Amino acid sequence: MSTSAIKGQHNSRHFRKTMLVYLAISVFCIVFDRIYALFGHGVYSASMSLMFLYPLLGGALPFLLLWQFAPQEDSVSHYRLYYNCYNSGIAALTVQSLLNGIFEIAGTASRYLIVFVVCGWVMVAAGLVLYLMGLYRYYSGSKLKS
């Protein structure tokens, strides 16, 4: 087996593993919402009920696409920075959705939730920019490695 083939397998496993982790987090979010609802006296929160969409659409789906179509992770410059930044953003948005749900159900709110929203979207955007820059370099032939 060639070195590039081994690398390809490794990268496929990386994307696949990340996708599966995001799927597991999505399922956890759904289960958490259902269990929380048992103690909420019928009070519900759309924010909590829909928080699974962040890891599902923001995590599992993109990494499914990367798994299927993207170049190897170590072919894209600054991949690790993108990976950390983007995942951190999705995590911040998911946690914000969870906290907002808890507060809505309790009938209160927090002035600090906006910090999670801003940080989350900034990190997601920064991660996407980093990845697109890496892709640009990859396809323009420079193939700079992080």
Choose the stretch contacting other proteins; rule: CB under 8 A; options: 52-60, 62-70, 89-97, 125-133. 89-97
Q: Are 87 and 131 in contact (CB under 8 A)?
A: no
Of 39, 63, 55, 44, the C-alpha closest to 88 is: 55
Q: Is 105 in the site for other proteins (CB under 8 A)?
A: yes
For 76, which DSSP code? Answer: S
DSSP element (H, E) containing 1: none
From start to end of the chain, where are the E strands? none
| Near other proteins by CB under 8 A: residue from 2, 3, 4, 108 | 108
Q: Toward other proteins, which CB reaches closer, 34 or 139?
A: 34
Write each residue from 127 to 146 as x if it is in contact with other proteins (CB under 8 A), else as -, in one continuous string: -------------------x
From start to end of 1-145, where are the E strands? none
Q: CB 108 → other proteins: shortest distance, Å?
A: 5
Q: Are 145 and 77 in contact (CB under 8 A)?
A: yes
Q: Is 106 in the site for other proteins (CB under 8 A)?
A: yes
Q: Is 38 in the site for other proteins (CB under 8 A)?
A: no
Helix, strand, or coil (residue 135): helix
Residues in the chain: 146
Q: Toward other proteins, which CB reaches closer, 67 or 82?
A: 82
Q: Which residues bind other proteins (CB under 8 A)?
A: 39, 41-45, 80, 84, 87-88, 91-92, 95, 99, 102-113, 115-116, 146
